[in-house]
Amino acid sequence: MGANKKLSALLAGRTVDNTSTAGKEMRIKFADDSQLIIQLGEGTEEPPFHGDVVEGIVQNGMIFTLNMVDGRSRRILLEDACSSVMLRNKNNQVEYTD
């Protein structure tokens, strides 16, 4: 699949405020109070850290990669290749869903 252009355009430049995981759900909260909600698969590597700034998103099937402006990447394994990612703005309105 490669670059997720739509989600990349929405997330580019957003700074990670915090990350939380409960069961199979990861929530990445950004400094603008938006949240990326991800349904996790088994084997997810380390989550994004406070202060990481998103450059873009690459998605290949169940592998979801957040590329950061400093050159680092955060790889997240999705529960399913579809319907595992949702972005909500600070007013809890859906900005993106797959």
Question: Could you report the per-residue pLDDT of 8-37, keeping only the tens digit for each?
Answer: 999 999 999 999 999 899 999 999 999 999
CA distances from 38 to 11, 26, 62, 71, 80 (A): 14, 5, 11, 22, 10
The token pair that represents 43 in the structure block: 């084997």
User: How confident is the model at residue 72, as a pLDDT?
Assistant: 93
Beta bridge partners of 85: 38
User: How confident is the model at residue 45, as a pLDDT?
Assistant: 65
Mean pLDDT in the chain?
A: 92
CA distances from 51 to 13, 31, 48, 71, 82 (A): 11, 9, 9, 14, 28
User: How confident is the model at residue 8, as a pLDDT?
Assistant: 96
Residue 33 backbone zone (phi > 0: left; psi -120 to 50: alpha; other: beta) = left
pTM above 0.95, yes or no: no
Give the sign of the dihedral formed by CA 10, CA 96, CA 4, CA 46: positive
